[in-house]
Every structure is written in structure tokens, then in C-alpha cells.
Structure 1
Amino acid sequence: MGRVLAIVLAGGEGKRLMPLTEDRAKPAVPFGGSYRLIDFALSNLVNAGYLQCAVLTQYKSHSLDRHISLTWRLSSLLGNYVTPVPAQQRRGPNWYLGSADAIYQSMNLINDAKPDYIVVFGADHVYRMDASQMVQAHADSGAGVTVAGIRVPRKDAWQFGVIKTAEDGVAISEFLEKPADPPGLVDSPEESYASMGNYVFSTEVLVEALEKDAANPASRHDMGGDIIPMLVEEGRASVYDFKRNVVPGATDRDRDYWRDVGTLDSYHEAHLDLVSRLPIFNLYNMQWPIFTSNSQLPGAKFSQGASVRDSIVCAGSIVGPASVEQSVIGTQNFVGDGSYVQRSVLLDGVHIGKGSVVRNAIIDKNVVVPDETLIGVDHAEDRRRGFAVSEGGITVLGKGQVVKP
């Protein structure tokens, strides 16, 4: 198929995930106890055999850069790499003005690699996907760009960027941003294609489009908002049906799973998808592993009297004679005697004191919850104490937030 360069867009601020993104970029937000969001995109690319990956970073990128540098080490002897690329003002005194401008300002990566195709993936979705199958479909189609589309119920598609196809079901005729009346599919009128934010470009088409976009003062310089509509208008865009993608080890239950975790509620819901007996998204598929750093920590420990059900508990954590249900417990956490943690996500280094109740909550790193504290039980009280409460009723504590007794 020719040479492929992978570019991962990881400069997102993630305002809707505040306070989790107050101190880190959205792709660096921890997920699933052991991972960060960017690990899913990078694992999909590496498992597919794409071992030259540039990660474009910008917003509060220190923890993201550190994670990539320490975790994603490929064989330099074979010319493989995953490397963070910060904004460098190569095109003038501006930081990245949008996702398209980020690639335009990093054109040196394309000039150096001289790829035939460029895979552009977002860094903040949870899913499994064999990117090589999408590249093959793009090469076979002869299109200038191929956009990954996931089938969603038509009644829910207004929340997404929606792809309308021609009668052949492949060529894209319109790219609609959150339409009030989403178009149905040719073969399934009650479903619509939502854009997954993943693209495959023929190199010369992308370079030409970026040059045009950079010269347009009215552009927002966004991949989904400007580059894709431009190529759709020129008749050079096609859709790749995510349902066609076959990942080794996938189950019927999690095969088509894709989750945009751009809000606190969707982030919380995606964690609940992990912990059931038959998980909606299966982290334990070792035929298509999600890679991350391995902490040098002892295994999790459970005291006599501990009750843990439908939960993930990571290395270095200790659960006393307490109850944990439908929760994800990160590394080096402590759950004290008589405490009750339900439908909650605890990131690393959280200490839950004795007799406390944590329900429907997300607690970021290094928070100490005093003895006999209630979190997520009374939303009015949570707000009074300075905790964030999402629209869906999830109580969120930021990194290192002080919780007074």
C-alpha cells in the first residue's frame, strides 16, 4: 500500500472535562485505572503495524509528553518512533490555530517521511480499530480522503458531525455539523453515520488542502470543520464504515464500541462499560492489547471482610474491610475500613478514610477523603463544599483538591 505516516492530534484543551483537564491535556486524562486516553489511539495504530507516529501537542502537555516519552519507546534501530511534537511556530509567530493548522505548521514531518498516505487520528476516544483495514479501503476507493463513520441511531445523530453519502453509500455528498434532521443511511434509513474524527489522506491531497486552508482568512483551520467539507465539495471524500472493521479477539458485544469521552458524564459512563461481568468494552482482549506504562508496584491487596464486585482494582491499591461496587480503582489507592465506594472512578493515589461513602463520583489524583465523609450523596452539599457536579449528577473532585472534614 505504500508508506504510511500516522499523525495523532493531541492538543485538545477538553474544557468540558474540567476539573480533570485543569492541569493536563485531554489526551493525558487517565482512563480505566492503568491507561491514559491517548493510549487507545496509539495502540490501534501500533497494533495495525504503523510504527512511525507523530503526536501533535499544545495545551498543558507536560504530563502527556512525559507519558509518551517514558512509555511509547519503539525500536529506533528499525526507524520506528512515537514522538511528541509541540507547537514550534514554524509558519510564523502563532501557536496552533486549529487541528488543520497544527498539521500545516508541522509540514516538515511530511516532507521528511515522504509518505504515500497519512493517517490522522484523534487522541481522546475509547475504542479498538485496525487502522490498516481503513487504509486499504482508502487505497481501493481512489478517494482523496476517507473518513471513518460509525453507525448511530438517527434520532441521536444530532449530537455529532454527520456524514451524508451518495446513492453508492460510499462517496460523501455532505458533511453536516450537528444537524437538526440527520440524514439516514442508504441501507439503513433509521441510522446515520457519525464522524469518528479519524481520517486517511492521500498525501498530495492533504498537502494541497492545507495550503488552501492556510490562505483562507475566514477558515477556523479545523480538520472536521474546514478540511473535510472542502474535500467533500470537491468530490474527493469517501466514508469508511466502522462496522466493516474486524479486530482480532473482539466479541459481538464490544466489536463496534466507540465512545467519545468529551464530557464528565460520558467519561463516567465509559468506565461503567468496563466493569460488568460481560463488559461492553473489554480491556482483557490480549489479541489487540491496549499498551501503557507498567508501574513497578505490588499487586492489589484485599483485607478480610473486603467486598469487591464488578470492579477493576489496579496495582498498589489496598481495600480494607470495605465495599466497592461497579467502580474503577486506580493505582496506589486506599479504601478505609467500613467505607462504601459505588459507581465511582478513583484515579491514582486517592485515600478514602474510614466510614466514608463515595457514590457516582470521579476523584482525581492524590485526593484525601477524611473519615466519615459523604461524596455524591447530597449534590447541594457537594456544591457547597466546592465540588463540581455534572449535568448528569456525577460529583467530581479535582487533582489534589482539599476535602475538609
Structure 2
Amino acid sequence: MRLLIQSLNYAPDEIGIPKYSTEMAEWFAQKGWAVHVVTAPPYYPHWRVGQGYRAWSYSREMRKDVSLLRCPLYVPSSPNGLKRLLHLASYAATSGPAVLAEALSYRPDAIVAVAPDLMAAPAAALAAKLTGAASFLHVQDFELDLALQMGMIRRKSFARVLAGMERSFLRAFDHASAPSPAMVSQLRTRGVLPERAFIFRNWCDTGIIRPDIDPSVYRRDWAVGENDVVLLYSGSLSEKQGVMTLAEAARCLVSQSHIHFVICGAGPAKQKLAHAVQDLGNVRLLPLQPAELLPELLCAADIHLLPQIPAAADLVLPSKLAGMLASGRPVIATALPGSGIAHEIANAGIIAPPGDVNALCEAIMCLAANQPMRDLLRGNARQRAETHWSKDVILSEFETRVVEAVGAKRVANRAKRAVRIRVR
């Protein structure tokens, strides 16, 4: 079978959405599918085009049996509301013709569009209609809602227009998915029929990320004692992640010499974060670590930190959570009871209200001082990863759904052709 994927982000970018779009494409290729991907040059999370790539030209490459067509992209060095919109619009403008051309020449059986960028998705829906392919939209986050909540879009009239466009884009696909139950509910409230909406989780390779990985390569470098407690955040550093809360918590706990904050990542908020922690001896700020060392990094933690702004609780499920759970370490997340994130870490971590630094510090102190509780949550975290976040299980289930949709689409297409013949 033939699969066409439209995804703004792809390898060699390694964290967040690029990881999952890449691994999905490569997994299908390994299963014998012919896979083409329309994407952009790598730029995330550093917000600069990767070495060896060009921002303003089309290019083709083969990567692990996947055919890639990279489209021109505007990449702002300091993204803000307007620049982010222009960034997304540039990909929509350049990838639209590319998706149509790929579909018409390649004739895929199924097309999968990944959002963000939702503005680019209509081209994928149109390509599916023109070629008779089954169409899927996978929503990694609700970018419009996040932009509104973070004040990136202020004009209500413009927001209403965008909301209407979002609803029409979502309904243009045969099927729509999201990584969590709360996000699937959001799809339904936006007009996606219940039978067309389903959960397609982000995953982790539980065979590679395991609780028994030796983390000494990191803990030795960090010079932390056997009884010290390492709090780890690893991922994109942006306002959406609420990472500045970590700086405030570290300042509050600076007198607790056995508690160490380790923050690994890159992104637009890194400079601001570095300035906020520059005088704190309990914070180690590191660049993104090599992908091959991710298991050791995750297992170097005693506790994982998952900060989020309040508005993001049910609009995005952080992809980094899968690895946190697979490492068999408890998670402290800033989330409200009943939210999607709170549901995902139930019995595998604890939550603190978003924006409440005192509550976050209390949660850290409580868990840092209670080894038996940490041990209990460790086991629950690993079990949750194995039952809910296994890569092969999740992708096998998605493949089954795609194959069934392709079969149903073929039957429907044959019926339409038969009707046209009778009419003639």
C-alpha cells in the first residue's frame, strides 16, 4: 500500500512532533508500505534552519526508505504571535501545491496530515478527494486555542473567522485523531462526528527506555550524591511549556542542598530562563542531549517535571510524557484535577495547580522526602507506559484502522463509479 504524510516537522529534528511523524513514517516503511512525506527543512526547537538545508527552496531526499519532499519555509529567529502565523502560513502556501502534486503522481491509498500546521491540512483533504484516498487528520495540539490563550491573537473578529475555518478543516477529513481522550473530546465539540474521532497516542519504545538503564554517566557528571534528588525537565523551552515556573520553584528551594534541578532543552524561552537561574546553584541548564543518550538521561532523574500553562491542559498532551513514564520515574505535573494531563499521570505522579509555585514546591518536597511513595509511583509509571504507550501496539492499531479505512474507501469509490456508469 501507499501512504502520503503531510507534516511540518520531521527528522533530523528530534523532540516533540518531529519524533512522532518520523517514527510513524519509518515504521510504515518497515512494514512494507511505500511512504512519501511532504515536510519542511528542520528548524525545531532552535528556530533556525538546520545545517545543510535551505529555507527557501524545494528539495528531495531519501531517509530510511521514506521519500521526503521538503518545502520552503519562513523561520523567524524570535517567534511571536504574528511571526508564528506567517511561519505557519508560509508552509501552508508552499506545501499545498506539493501535496497535490505528490498525490496525483503517487496515487496514495491513504493520506495523513499532522497538525500543526492546520492551515496546511485542506490541501491534504483535497488531494484525498481527487485521488480517492482515505484521509486522516492527526491533531497534536489545538494551535488556535493555544494562540488565543497565550494572547497571540487579540482581535475577536479574527479569532471567530479562524475558529470557523478550523471547524471546516477538521470536518474535511474521513477521520480525525488526537493523542488523549480530552483532546478527542475537543475534536467532537468542533464538529467531528464521534465515529470519525479516535485516540492515536504518542508513544515511546519501551524496549529502549527502561527503568534499569544505568544513569551514572549523567549523575557522575552532575556530582550528585546517592541520596540526592534530581528533578529533570527535558524538552522544548517555550512559554507554552510554562518552563519559567521551574525557575521560580528552584529559587524557592535553593536552600535544599539535596534537591537538584536539571533542565535540558532549546527554544525561544531559553535565554529568559538562563537569566532567571544564573545565580542559582541548584539549577543545571543544559542543551538538548543526543538522542542516543535519552534513556540514560531520563533514568538519571528521580522525579520528572512536567510544567504546563493552565490553558494547555486539554489542548495538548506533551509528547515527552511517554518517555518519562517508560523510565519508571514519578512525574510532577502542573495541571488541574480532572484535566487530561491529570488523568494520564494518575497513580504515576502527582499534580500541582498551574501557576501556583508554592504548591509545586510542596509537591516536590513531599515526593523528595518519601522514598516509599516514589517507589510505588515508579512501578505504576512503568506499567502505564507498557499498557498505554507501547510503540508497536499503538502503530499496529493505527495501521489496522488505516487499512480498514482504505478498504471502505475502495468500496465507496466503486459504488460511485457504478452510479456514474448507470447515469450515463
The interval holding the TM-score normalised by the smaller chain is: 0.3 to 0.5
Higher strand share: 1
Q: Which structure has the highest helix share of the two?
A: 2
